[in-house]
Structure 1
């Protein structure tokens, strides 16, 4: 079991809590909580060791593009980078109800 913590700057605050996904084989859950500030504080707990660079790359790509801010917790059980991206987009949609991901594309 590994735990990572990252901070990313952003300009799109989470306005409400979000919970997407489940911790199950090849899946993960993302929990978002609004917080003060202009950054995302991300904590990842994963059952798969040795993917530090993959996590960093997927998260940098997401937060650079969408700028979500808040407190974000990810609990992983072997999800692929594609599943991680989908869950993050779902959490973005739920936590910023007045904004859509397409508006920043």
Structure 2
């Protein structure tokens, strides 16, 4: 397993306080847990992945995700067993959309 961590600052969008879990490692090769956290306006992402050596791809996907959503005070935990970048983006978007829908 490889663990990758990213932090983004300067986001403007906050999510609801209750955590949201999207996906299942065994069915879609990926699960995402997203939760509000006091991070001084930052968004922290931790990825545990069985696919070693893909840090540059993960970084590109996480940068794209944060540019789209601009999250602040958010912690995201990802457990991955080899999902494609498209599945990663889909699951992340699903998690944020669920958090924003319930907050409205």
The two structures share one fold, judged by TM-score above 0.5: yes
TM (normalized to structure 2)? 0.88
TM (normalized to structure 1)? 0.87
In structure 1, distance between residues paired with 2:66 and 2:89? 11
Select between 81-90 and 11-20 the one with higher mean Cα deviation. 11-20
Residue 55 in structure 1 maps to residue 67 in structure 2:
no
Number of residue equivalences = 99
Q: Deviations over 1:57-94 (max 9, x none)?
A: 00001101111231110000100000000000001011
The correspondence for 1:95, drawn from 79, 82, 99, is 99
More strand by share: 1
More helix by share: 2
Deviation at 1:35, TM superposition (A): 1.2
* Unaligned residue ranges in structure 1 (runs of 5+): 100-105
Aligned to 1:23: 25
Confirm or deny: 8 A CA contact 1:58 1:81 kept in the other structure.
Answer: yes
Deviation at 1:25, TM superposition (A): 6.1
Q: RMSD of the alignment, in Å?
A: 1.4
Residue 35 in structure 1 maps to residue 43 in structure 2:
no
Residue 11 in structure 1 maps to residue 15 in structure 2:
no
